[in-house]
Amino acid sequence: MTVRIGVVTFPGTLDDRDTQRAVRIAGAEPVPLWHRDKDLKQAEAIVLPGGFSYGDYLRAGAISRFSPVMEAVVAAARDGMPVLGICNGFQLLTETHLLPGAMLRNNHLHFVCRDQKLRVENAGTAWTADYTAGQEISIPLKNIDGRYVADERTLDELEAEGRVAFRYAGWNPNGSLRDIAGIANAAGNVVGLMPHPEHAVEPLIGTGGTDGLGFFTSILRKLVNV
Amino acid sequence: MTLDTVSHAAGTPETALPWAELGLKEDEYERIREILGRRPTGAELAMYSVMWSEHCSYKSSKVHLKQFGEKAPETDALLVGIGENAGVVDVGQGYAVTFKVESHNHPSYIEPYQGAATGVGGIVRDILAMGARPVAVMDPLRFGAADHPDTKRVLPGVVAGIGGYGNCLGLPNIGGEVVFDPCYQGNPLVNALCVGVMKHEDIHLAKASGAGNKVILYGARTGGDGIGGVSVLASETFDSTKPAKRPAVQVGDPFQEKLLIECTLEIFREDLVAGIQDLGGAGLSCATSELASAGSGGMRVELDTVPLRDSSLSPEEILMSESQERMCAIVEPGKVDRFLEICEKWDVIATVIGEVTEGEQLEIFWHGDKIVDVPPRSVAHEGPTYHRPYARPDWQDALQADDAGALPRPESGEELRKHVLQVVASPNQASKSWITDQYDRFVQGNTVLAQPEDAGMVRIDEESNLGVAVSTDGNGRYTKLDPYTGAQLALAESYRNVAAAGAKPLAVSDCLNFGSPEDPAVMWQFAEATRGLADACLELGTPVTGGNVSLYNQTGETAIHPTPVVAVLGVIDDVHRRTPMGFAEDGQLIYLLGDTRDELGGSAWSQVVHDHLGGLPPRVDLERERLLAEILVAASRDGMIDAAHDLSDGGLAQALTESCLKGGHGARIVVPDSIDPFVLLFSESAGRAIVTVPRSEEVRFNDMCGARGLPVTRIGIVDGDGIDVQGQFVLPLAELREAHEATIPALLA
Amino acid sequence: MARVVVDVMLKPEILDPQGQAVQRALPRLGYQGISDVRQGKRFELEVEGPVDDAALTRIREMAETFLANTVIEDFAVKVES
């Protein structure tokens, strides 16, 4: 039986079709979810893809967090369902408080699109099991509101609990505190990051690397083994 | 307020109208009276004035543009030609591709961010209106001197606007140009290109036919955007209590546009429209008159049903408003409900504002009173035509006589090295990644090649790996020296770029940026450039599918360099065969294809080192360009080359720099005995490219070029971590990278 | 130290996509009765020395040439003690 992974589309979501493709390439079945959906259509994991939901007006993720589908996603995440937020999806996860902290405008104030090196800090989450801790991967980064901030106590807590999942390596592209590129919740089922693994799943396309595929194979392996 | 209805106009023939303030000439106004058999109403005058403007009617340029049709090469590839929102090209496997480049120059100078943003929005809607999903954008840009304070105002705003809008739409930005020259100081050029993909059967046309079909306006509400000019009608003639000025600046809402794209594509999938048109310049005036004119003629519109953002707008203003993110569709009555349902799903406002009628008149009503009753063709397609006088300027001979070949040249290897660094670090030749890194090039997950590659390339079918490549080029300096040749060189370079990436060039779109057509010298440049471009398109077998003309690009009496920007679209059967420009592997052989002559007129070297513009541009040999392109495509298809890079501005020095830095490998160059090292490095002779050939392919590659008659010279080998021109100089890649990459951030960041 | 506040708003006739998106979201969240929302920027300037006519003139000039883009935005200057 194939594993069903839900990919949510909000008005203004951009990377939903790319994420569906990545899910397919990894061997799972993508289930398109619309922001007005109230149930998750038997999806066993959820990806909140990148983009500019509601134009990122007010704040990134501030309007989409009130969508009907997010009620279901938040409830399921609290019950342990794996949820991955990429870029706008990460911003949304912080707005819903599934993950701590917030995202501000990049310190240089520009949109930045580049091939970014990351260090995998936690290979124990639902979405990172196919990597090894300390591994360096290279995947595209593209955002204008990508500067991760949280208060010192929260940052210390994240570090102490091993919940910093990814750190920028080589160069911090946006002024994120402690070079944080992605974090996990305490249970390890909810992960958010700014860079885009779904854009690094095929040789030749994008950066030409496939370092992002591990996110999708990790979750597939976990769900198949359940 | 007295409503100026048709019957009121018929009864008050002597009422004076502000036709001159609206930019109409006296004879044009007389012609309108003649067409209507009475004086126009205020609303009619507004429509005619904007539709007969240079921007909408092409009245100065169309006598020249018709050559693109008359000289069009025979081709089966063209599915839709000039005259629609954009041309459509057959790329095989049942796919059709539409692409177009357009200008948004003047708005971008007034308000750089919004001007550039709405430029992207406009061209994307043009592509969407053809029935296609937009898949990529590109932006050819030109600014004043890089170190001029105003450039620091305009450029970051334009770049942020393109990024802010395009990134939010989810369209990868895969190429374009950034050129600096003092001639663009008060008049930057902001051109925007979009490519879209559809199946053949999905092509839609801007046509209103079938009496009883409904006219649906959908998208953003209508506000007072971009109607500064027409406000004279509302405020001065008919109602003095109105705000005296409406904003000339349109503000874009990319979120609304993204919804409009997805909503429209869903509407296409269910086959719900009989005709469709986007609203751009001249807004509803243009959309209704063009749709009716291209169809059976009759249309009735209830203007008071248009959803407004500002309830104080007069009917004239509603007709003229250039509010963004709006489309107009013709829908059969039985399909209206489903159409509205899809719009509701996407939170897009949609309103039935009228219907197609049996007659031949476009009739517009305001709360039941008829305020427009015109033959739509007379508004949309039968505007005035000017045969503007043109004459070769008297300074042209002196300019051409001022030969760049006579400029002092470097006399030692050390000096040559200095000039190489100077050229590759100059603002025009320097890396533009500070700019292009502000654009999303990865979204949609189909980008195969993007800037700084010769051409952008996207995959359009995930199963077969079919792809398309697009490049834009233009060189105002060459065109100033010789407009006929300069336009041909722009085409040749763009064509060559597409081939260097491994794609077969198929079709052309152009954006012709010139000064005032009222200046006979400018008109001569325009006439020569269009003649050159049309001749070259015929010879290369690449038809012009559409484009745009932007005139009056000048500050006071001084026109910009004539700047035809030429986009070429190519197709590649399997994107795995694409050729990148970076040198990938030590030991591969570097070949220079084509002939290098002593040609420095208009060159980057003459500009950077001597601040000089004079002489003649490089010669054009279109037969050679075609052969070179065939070789580049064949060599890529058969796996004989691993990298290719076109030679153009900055010559071999520039090409080697870019290929070495991109691939992270150096090059050892041996200057052939037959050629001077300076000429080898800086000549800008056309019809040339460099390629790297794995040793195992050398014999096969040489045989192919020999058999086809293309001169090739082995000039070196990929090796080391610097550019080593033997017997002349060595330049470490680190030093080269610093020079090439630091310039733009230092000027603008 | 005195504080001078400069409020910058899009001109009334200019489209405000951000305000519109917020306004459209309100009914979904159960907030009725808001017919329009416009979003602006607020600058708080800590002024050294007295806020006299000369200082205000300079601040207005600053607002006009720098803080606001008067092609599309209006501004208002007010003194807070």
Q: Which helix (H) or strand (E) holds B487?
A: helix B483-500
Bond from prior residue into B711 cis (ω within 30 degrees of 0): no
pLDDT at residue B234, as a whole number = 45
- Catalytic pick among B64, B104, B612, B645: B104
User: Which amino acid is located at C3 in the chain?
Assistant: R
pLDDT at residue B21, as a whole number = 87
Domain boundaries B6-61+202-380, corresponding CATH code: 3.90.650.10
Q: How far is CA A104 from CA A194, B170, B277, B650, in A?
A: 12, 21, 39, 41
Q: Which of residues 11-30 of C touch A (CB under 8 A)?
A: 17-18, 21-22, 25, 28-29
pLDDT band with cut points at 50, 70 and 90 for residue B241: very low
Question: Count of CB contacts below 8 A, A vs C?
Answer: 21
The model's pTM is 0.94
Burial, C58: exposed, middle or buried (Cβ in 10 Å; 0-12, 13-18, 19+)?
exposed
- CATH number for the domain spanning A157: value is 3.40.50.880
User: Residue B437's CB: how many other CB atoms inside 10 A?
Assistant: 18
Q: How far is CA B155 from CA A79, A114, B115, B250, B664, in A?
A: 50, 21, 12, 19, 30
Nearest Cα residue in chain A from B263: A11
Q: How far apart are CA C38 and CA B159, in angstroms?
A: 26
Q: How far apart are CA A219 and CA A49, in angstroms?
A: 15
pLDDT band with cut points at 50, 70 and 90 for residue B280: confident
**Contact (Cβ atoms closer than 8 angstroms) between residue B151 and residue B420:** no
* pLDDT tens, residue by residue, C9-58: 988 888 888 888 889 889 888 899 999 999 999 999 999 999 999 999 99
Closest CB to B445 among A52, A55, A198: A198
pLDDT at residue B229, as a whole number = 53
Q: Which of residues 3-62 of C touch B (CB under 8 A)?
A: 10-11, 13-17, 20-21, 24
Half-sphere exposure for B461 (CA within 13 Å, toward CB)? 17
pLDDT at residue B237, as a whole number = 37
pLDDT at residue B171, as a whole number = 97
pLDDT at residue B22, as a whole number = 87
Q: Which chains touch B (3 or more CB pairs under 8 A)?
A: A, C
* pLDDT of residue A142 exceeding 70: yes
**How many domains does the structure of chain A reveal?**
1
Q: ipTM of this model?
A: 0.95
User: Residue B406's CB: how many other CB atoms inside 10 A?
Assistant: 11
Told to judge if B8 belongs to the known catalytic residues of this protein, a careful annotator would answer no
Q: How much is the average pLDDT of B677-682?
A: 98
Domains and CATH numbers, chain C: 2-80 (3.30.1280.10)
Q: How far apart are CA B112 and CA B107, in angstroms?
A: 7
Do B6-61+202-380 and B579-749 fold alike per CATH? yes
Q: How much is the average pLDDT of B101-114?
A: 92
* pLDDT tens, residue by residue, B70-106: 999 988 888 888 777 788 999 999 999 999 999 999 8
Closest CB to A57 among C22, C28, C29: C22
Give B236 to chain C, closest Cα distance, Å.
Answer: 19
* pLDDT tens, residue by residue, B697-743: 999 999 999 999 999 999 999 999 999 999 999 999 999 999 999 99
Q: How far apart are CA B127 and CA B100, in angstroms?
A: 8
Q: How far is CA B621 from CA B485, B489, B531, B682, in A?
A: 10, 9, 16, 19
Which of C10, C15, C20, C22 would you mutate first to test chain A, the one with the most A CBs within 10 A? C22
Listing from the earlier edge strand, what are the strands of the sheet with C73-80? Answer: C40-47, C2-10, C73-80
**Domain region containing A54:** 4-225
pLDDT at residue B224, as a whole number = 86
* pLDDT of residue B239 exceeding 90: no
CB contact under 8 A, A18 and B445: yes
- Strand positions, DSSP E, B460-503: 467-473
* pLDDT of residue B415 exceeding 70: yes
Name the nearest CA neighbour of B42 among B343, B392, B286, B315: B315
Query: Under CATH, domain B579-749 is a member of which superfamily?
Result: PurM-like C-terminal domain (3.90.650.10)
Q: How much is the average pLDDT of B482-493?
A: 98
What are the residue ranges spanned by the domains of chain B?
Answer: 6-61+202-380, 579-749
pLDDT at residue B235, as a whole number = 42
Positive or negative torsion for Cα B421, B423, B426, B427? negative
Q: Cite the annotated binding site of B by residue number.
A: 58, 100, 102-106, 125-126, 250, 278, 322-324, 510, 547-548, 550
The alpha carbons of chain C give a radius of gyration, in whole angstroms, of 16
Burial, B714: exposed, middle or buried (Cβ in 10 Å; 0-12, 13-18, 19+)?
middle
CA C7 to chain centre: 2
pLDDT at residue B409, as a whole number = 97
Q: How far apart are CA B416 and CA C40, in angstroms?
A: 55
Four-point Cα dihedral B443, B436, B683, B589, nearest 10: -50
Instruction: Supply the mean pLDDT for chain B.
Output: 94
pLDDT at residue C17, as a whole number = 85
Told to judge if B55 belongs to the known catalytic residues of this protein, a careful annotator would answer yes
Closest CB to B251 among C15, C21, C24: C15
pLDDT at residue C24, as a whole number = 87
CB contact under 8 A, A55 and C25: no
Q: How much is the average pLDDT of A117-131?
A: 97
CB contact under 8 A, B309 and C15: yes
Q: Which helix (H) or strand (E) holds A113?
A: strand A112-120
* pLDDT tens, residue by residue, A78-98: 999 999 999 999 999 999 999
* pLDDT of residue B143 exceeding 90: yes
* Beta partners for residue B177, in sequence order: B140
Give the three-class secondary structure for A98.
Answer: coil
SS3 assignment for B547-584: EEEECCCEECCEECCCEEEEEEEEEECCHHHCCCCCCC
pLDDT at residue B209, as a whole number = 85
* pLDDT tens, residue by residue, B118-130: 999 999 999 999 9
Tell me, yes or no, if A12 comes closer than 8 A to chain B by beta carbon.
yes
pLDDT band with cut points at 50, 70 and 90 for residue A166: very high
User: Residue B182's CB: how many other CB atoms inside 10 A?
Assistant: 15
Q: Which helix (H) or strand (E) holds B483?
A: helix B483-500
Rounded (5°) CA angle B720-B722-B727 = 100
Largest Cα separation within chain B, whole Å, is: 88
Q: How far apart are CA B325 and CA B254, in angstroms?
A: 8
β-bridge pairing A180-184 and A164-168: antiparallel
Q: How far apart are CA B578 and CA A166, in angstroms?
A: 33
Q: Which helix (H) or strand (E) holds A219?
A: helix A213-225
Q: How far apart are CA B501 and CA B643, in angstroms?
A: 9
- Enumerate the residues of chain B whose CB falls inside 8 A of the CB of residue A63: none
Give the three-class secondary structure for B187.
Answer: coil
DSSP chain C: -EEEEEEEEE-TTS--HHHHHHHHHHHHTT---------EEEEEEEESS---HHHHHHHHHHIIIIIS-TTTEEEEEEEE-
Rounded (5°) CA angle B210-B212-B218 = 95
